[in-house]
Amino acid sequence: MKNDSKPVYVTRSSMPSFEEYADMIHAMWNSRWLTNMGYLHEELTERLKKEFEAEHFLLFSNGHMALELALQSLEMKGEVITTPFTFISTTQAIIRNGLTPVFCDIDPVRLTIDPEKIEDLITEKTCAIVGVHVYGIPCETRIIDSIAAKHGLKVIYDAAHAFRVRYMGKNIANYGDVSMFSFHATKVYHTIEGGGVVCHDPKQYSRLSRLRNFGFFYGGLDGDQLGVNAKMSEFHAAMGLCNLRHIEQEIQKRKEVSEHYDQLLGKAKGLQLFPAIEGLERNYAYYPVIFLDNAPKSRDKACEDLEKEGIIARKYFYPLTSAFSCFKGRSDQGNTPVAEDIANRVLCLPLYAGLSAEDVEWICHIILN
């Protein structure tokens, strides 16, 4: 039996060697050009444009600002159909733009917004659909994109978890009108703090590039957008450039850990694991497990038992964002029984490149007992 005093967290940031990072920041250190679209920022932008197979890509200080400004750049008013099964950032970005979230239920297998339920929620006030590729599971993009085209709605994907995900032969960034990625330290690919947006309309791209720089073009004199400071610094871009070199190995190691979990948990009755989805190339960002049995609070019991052994699994995403007190009076909680049920049963197990086989076995032993 395992006897290790170190906590095992839900994830652990991937890091280049100290020497590799120091080498990356060396020239910048001497030049004293630390931020404001510096050399490393521009180089990372070019690399990520290739990564996302996109013409229009912008870096941001974090994923939340990327999403909030992406929504602002679409200049919308009214209601946005969205999922409550997400991190609070998604809903906050909608509300902080003066838009009203209308919560749609999720698919019980994919855990993403249920396209069958979207059309019933469309009113004359609906302006957009905000889907979340939760845990790197793609939304049903083809159906959502066609519903949006039929009703003249914008489609925004919160792809915070979906770096390197491909779906139906395309990079996930190339669905919908705009996709936001988080490059936070807890993500598969990170820049410590950071975010990115892929969009397809050059006018929107231009607005967005001003919004992240106080509303004006860098070096310009007039600001025609109500912007903020959401620029990425050179230190963050340097980490991003280093981590990009290692992303293949990072994902491969996460795949191995995930497959080890699958082997040990796959035959257990009462556990729903990551869904098999045709056309999906995964990034192994999260390892969600759904406790299907009827025993009350079996997810909570498993979480407590793991914690007693120093294993910090996380209930991403409980509670639903529609239940957050800061949204009271700003939106209806919606009718989302599937999302509520999943939020009460889901647990994300530790998953990161250096997680040992012994730890995986110990975690599974605790869960299966």
Residue numbers at the binding site for ligand T4K (CB under 6 A): 9-13, 62-64, 67, 86-87, 89-90, 132, 158, 160, 182, 184-186, 195, 312, 316
CA–centroid distance for 301 within its chain: 27
d(CA 99, CA 20): 44
Question: Cβ closer to ligand T4K: 45 or 186?
Answer: 186
At closest approach, how far in Å is the CB of 365 from ligand T4K?
Answer: 21
Give the helix ranges, DSSP H, for the chain.
18-31, 39-52, 63-73, 88-95, 141-151, 202-211, 234-245, 247-265, 298-308, 337-345, 357-368
Question: Cβ closer to ligand T4K: 125 or 304?
Answer: 304
Q: What does the DSSP assignment read for 301-315?
A: HHHHHHHHTTB--B-
At closest approach, how far in Å is the CB of 124 from ligand T4K?
Answer: 28
Question: Cβ closer to ligand T4K: 88 or 219?
Answer: 88
At closest approach, how far in Å is the CB of 101 from ligand T4K?
Answer: 14
Q: Is the peptide bond before 217 cis (omega within 30 degrees of 0)?
A: no
At closest approach, how far in Å is the CB of 188 from ligand T4K?
Answer: 12
At closest approach, how far in Å is the CB of 11 from ligand T4K?
Answer: 4
Alpha-carbon distances of 357 from 3, 239, 306, 354, rounded to whole Å: 14, 28, 16, 9
d(CA 101, CA 93): 10
Question: Cβ closer to ligand T4K: 152 or 195?
Answer: 195
**What residues have CB less than 8 Å from 304, skipping those under 6 apart?**
none
At closest approach, how far in Å is the CB of 30 from ligand T4K?
Answer: 27
Place of tokens 């293949």: 248
At closest approach, how far in Å is the CB of 258 from ligand T4K?
Answer: 17
Q: What pairs with residue 129 in β-bridges?
A: 81, 155
Q: Which residue is nearest to ligand T4K (CB)?
A: 63
At closest approach, how far in Å is the CB of 65 from ligand T4K?
Answer: 7
Question: Cβ closer to ligand T4K: 15 or 122?
Answer: 15
**What residues have CB less than 8 Å from 172, skipping those under 6 apart?**
133, 138, 157, 159, 162, 165, 166, 179
Question: Cβ closer to ligand T4K: 44 or 160?
Answer: 160
Question: Cβ closer to ligand T4K: 203 or 308?
Answer: 308
Question: Cβ closer to ligand T4K: 300 or 368?
Answer: 300
Are 147 and 120 in contact by the 8 Å Cβ rule? The answer is no
d(CA 282, CA 136): 7
